[in-house]
Amino acid sequence: MGTVTLGVSLAVPEPYGSFLQRKREGFGDPAASGIPTHITLLPPTEADAAGLPGIEQHLAEVAAACRPFPLRLEGTDTFRPLSPVVFVTVAEGVSGCTALQARVRAASGPCARELQFPYHPHVTVAHGIAEDAMDRAQAELADFSATWTVGGFALYEKGPDEVWRLQREYPFGSAGSTGGPAVAVPRQAGEADLSRPPAPSC
């Protein structure tokens, strides 16, 4: 059956997802059109296609043991010069993302793998493009903010055309029975949203 390239991530809901994807395209990132806006839980990973049922079962079990948590994006930062990436910062929900990705990559599970860098949840908005374009991305999105409740995650597969496509969504155990995407809750201007304590996802 061969191998497949998989990724697990938190989708950035609408209208934020499309907005950031269009901005990434506008900065000249050639990969932008094939990458839905997301926060990575499992980076691109090659897997035996025959092992997909086991991977899907593992992800379903992880999701069932988790609960929704608040997530807020605010402002930009960069991994330069270590890595040519500009990203939107996760200002709230870091602990939830970190706990979740650790469960997905558990050493005892089928998605076990080491990371090239320590886990740092973020939303990439420019990668590997000219420095002036990277600077523009970091400046133009410096005032960006978005808040929503994370209610699950999703499995994606990269096709031969380099486009990442949704394969299956995994709603959290207490996220309800619909399995729908997280609902975007726009934050009011000037609202810091720091009153809620950190909420680990699982």
Split into its structural domains, the chain has a count of: 1
* CB-based contacts of 166, cutoff 8 Å, min separation 6: 36, 154, 155, 156
Task: In whole angstroms, give the CA distance from residue 169 to residue 172.
Answer: 10
pLDDT class for 174, splitting at 50, 70, 90? low
Domain that holds residue 138: 3-171
Q: For residues 186 and 145, is the Cβ–Cβ distance under 8 A?
A: no
Residue 199 lies in a domain: no
DSSP string, 136-147: HHHHHTTT-EEE
Q: Range with the lowest mean pLDDT among 15-29, 57-71, 178-192?
A: 178-192
Residue 126 lies in a domain: yes
Residue 200 lies in a domain: no
Residue 185 lies in a domain: no
Query: How does the average pLDDT of the chain come out, rounded?
Result: 88
Does residue 180 surpass a pLDDT of 50? no
Question: Tell me, what CATH number does 140's domain have?
Answer: 3.90.1140.10
> pLDDT at position 162, please?
94
Residue 183 lies in a domain: no
The residue-averaged pLDDT of 147-152 equals: 98
Say what the alpha-carbon torsion angle 40, 6, 34, 81 is, to the nearest 10 degrees: 50
pTM, two decimal places? 0.85
> pLDDT at position 38, please?
98
Closest CA to 8 of 50, 68, 55: 55
List pLDDT tens digits, range 100-147.
999 999 999 999 999 988 999 999 999 999 999 999 999 999 999 999
Closest CA to 55 of 164, 168, 158: 168
Residues in the chain: 202
Task: Name the residue with higher pLDDT: 71 or 199.
Answer: 71
In the structure encoding, which two tokens stand for residue 3, read together?
Answer: 């191998």
> pLDDT at position 184, please?
30
Say what the alpha-carbon torsion angle 33, 15, 10, 141 is, to the nearest 10 degrees: 70
Task: Name the residue with higher pLDDT: 106 or 202.
Answer: 106
What share of the chain in percent tops pLDDT 70?
85
Q: Range with the lowest mean pLDDT among 20-29, 80-89, 126-135, 175-184?
A: 175-184
Residue 71 lies in a domain: yes
Task: In whole angstroms, give the CA distance from residue 48 to residue 188.
Answer: 46
In the structure encoding, which two tokens stand for residue 29, read together?
Answer: 């990132």
Closest CA to 150 of 31, 43, 16, 54: 16
Residue 38 lies in a domain: yes
The residue-averaged pLDDT of 42-55 equals: 96
